[in-house]
Amino acid sequence: MYRPILIVISLFPLFLFSQNLIPNPGFEQHRGCPEQPGQISLASHWFSPSIATPDYFNNCSPGLDYGTEFNKKGGQVAHSGNAYAGLQFYNLNTNEFFEYMETILDSTLIAGQLYCLQGFVSLGESSYAFNEIGAVLSVNELKFQQSHKMQLPYIPMTCQKYLDNQEDWMYISGIYKAKGKERFLTLGNFTAGDNFWNMQTRSLTDSLFKSSYYFIDDLALFAISDSSECSCNK
């Protein structure tokens, strides 16, 4: 009669160890339905750290522009559920306009612990593709009164040479060893160089502006005991 209880107790620590620390990872929880650009704040727990505001896409949108399957940025069926976020990167050669999105983790990171950060991206209407998406884990909130690129130490998230798939979602991941007390996660592009966007697509977008746009869905950040638990082969 005690055996089922013992099984539950033995599995409980494993569940805690793999807990996703990102709130609203699929952008399903929302305060309203998107009708115009720059409404990432409608997705609960997400906000922009700069004056450049990311987009929010949800099937509940009253028009096609900010729905999912067909929208202003090319469209994509959500990886799961009914919503996702979108980041615009414009004038890549001058770092003029780069969007970022930020959230507060459910708990602070533990010093020395390895963490796996993963998610899914799809290339929207773009003239260029990136080779990675960057992530910054910080103790304090990032906040910048600017729209150009922020250059910071970051975690590269990728699993292929270029993130150029406009038909489907691409899995990306990165590994981070915590310094301790990190509580904020910011996603975007933080590279110091300019060799991250030299893959030109066949998009109708004017290549003169060298733009790129990514849909993002189903993010996760969880503790791991070994780097093999965050493999691109998963």
**Chain mean pLDDT for the chain:** 89
How much is the pTM? 0.89
Residue-wise pLDDT for 138-185, tens only, equals 999 999 999 999 999 999 999 988 999 999 999 999 999 999 999 999
Q: Which is higher by pLDDT, 205 or 16?
A: 205
Residue-wise pLDDT for 188-220, tens only, equals 999 876 666 666 676 655 555 678 999 999 999
Residue-wise pLDDT for 92-146, tens only, equals 777 789 999 999 999 999 999 999 999 999 999 988 899 999 999 999 999 999 9
- The DSSP-derived string for the chain is --HHHHHHHHHHHHHHHT---SSSTTS--BSS---SSS-GGGBTTEE-SSSS--EEEETT-SSSTTSSSS-TT-----SSTTEEEEEEEE-TTTT-EE--EEEE-SSPPPTT-EEEEEEEEEE-S-SEE-S-EEEEEESS----S--S------EEEBSSS----SSS-EEEEEEEE--S---EEEEE---SSSTTS-EE---SS-GGG--EEEEEEEEEEEEESSGGGG-TT-
Position 6 pLDDT exceeds 80: no
Domains and CATH numbers, the chain: 3-230 (2.60.120.260)
Please report the pLDDT score of residue 234 as a whole number: 61
